[in-house]
Amino acid sequence: MDETSLRNIITEHNIVMTSVLRRQSSTSNENDVRMRNNRSSGHGAVNDSPPSSPAQAGDRGTRACCFCWCCCCTCSCLAVKSGNGTQGGPNSRIPLPERDDPPTHEEIESWGESFDKLMQSKGGRRTFREFLKSEYSEENILFWLACEDLKKEENPEIVEEKARLIYEDYISILSPKEVSLDSRVREVINRNMVDPTPHTFDEAQLQIYTLMHRDSYPRFLNSQMYKKLLEESQLS
């Protein structure tokens, strides 16, 4: 293993461990508050009863595994709370597939006019994702979608958790879904991960968007998938 690869692995480990320590500190503070409340309500008796609500039980379960950073999709610590307080399972790593009415012929035609129009269309993104899957590069649009989802989040704790998952899934050199980024952008991300925000991956997202535009989009327009879809929409 060369020196650069070793340095990247050490950096990634430090980023994840920083996130773990923050989560542990937050959990410890919450436990202290809960114990003080239990003592106050029980006149000094220790409350051994289970959490009074499913949400509390879910909190305890999702924070049990503090050292999991191996991208294990079955680990409970990867559950991410959504804005309404519910928890997602392993599929919370990426936005759910978009469902919509079939695109019209005019809409499908517009996809050939510009890459921006393709990516602004729900049906366009869904179709382009299927094309990228056939080329074994689906991780590019999944990363882009995950970044779009992160930018909508306002809760700092959820932002940090989602940023960590995006890093593990698409930035880490240990991930099978690693996207192709240059060293400068990787260094920017590593600095941003010290204090993640909804815009932690903006430069990386732009670089992947440009890559899809220049590399995959022309092949998509010349593909049988797009031509067939265009023909079928014209007949319907």
Domains identified in the chain and CATH numbers: 105-234 (1.10.167.10)
pTM flag (> 0.75): no
Q: What is the pLDDT of residue 47?
A: 45
Q: What is the pLDDT of residue 108?
A: 97
Per-residue tens of pLDDT for the chain, all 236 residues = 666 655 666 666 667 666 656 666 555 556 665 666 665 555 444 444 444 444 444 443 444 443 344 444 444 444 444 444 444 444 445 455 555 688 999 999 999 999 999 999 999 999 999 999 999 999 999 999 999 999 999 999 999 999 999 999 999 999 999 999 999 999 999 999 999 999 999 999 999 999 999 999 999 999 999 999 999 998 87
CA distances from 1 to 8, 38, 152, 199, 213 (A): 11, 52, 39, 32, 33
Q: What is the pLDDT of residue 236?
A: 75
Helix (H) or strand (E) holding 106: helix 105-111
Nearest CA to 91 among 165, 152, 16?
165
Please return the burial class of 70, using the count of CB atoms within 10 Å of its CB with bins 0-12, 13-18 and 19+.
Answer: exposed
| Token reading at 9 | 């692995």
Q: What is the pLDDT of residue 144?
A: 98
Asked if 123 contacts 42 with a C-beta cutoff of 8 angstroms, the reply is no
SS3 81: strand
Q: What is the pLDDT of residue 164?
A: 97
Q: What is the pLDDT of residue 56?
A: 44
Half-sphere exposure at residue 180, Cβ-oriented, CA atoms within 13 angstroms: 7
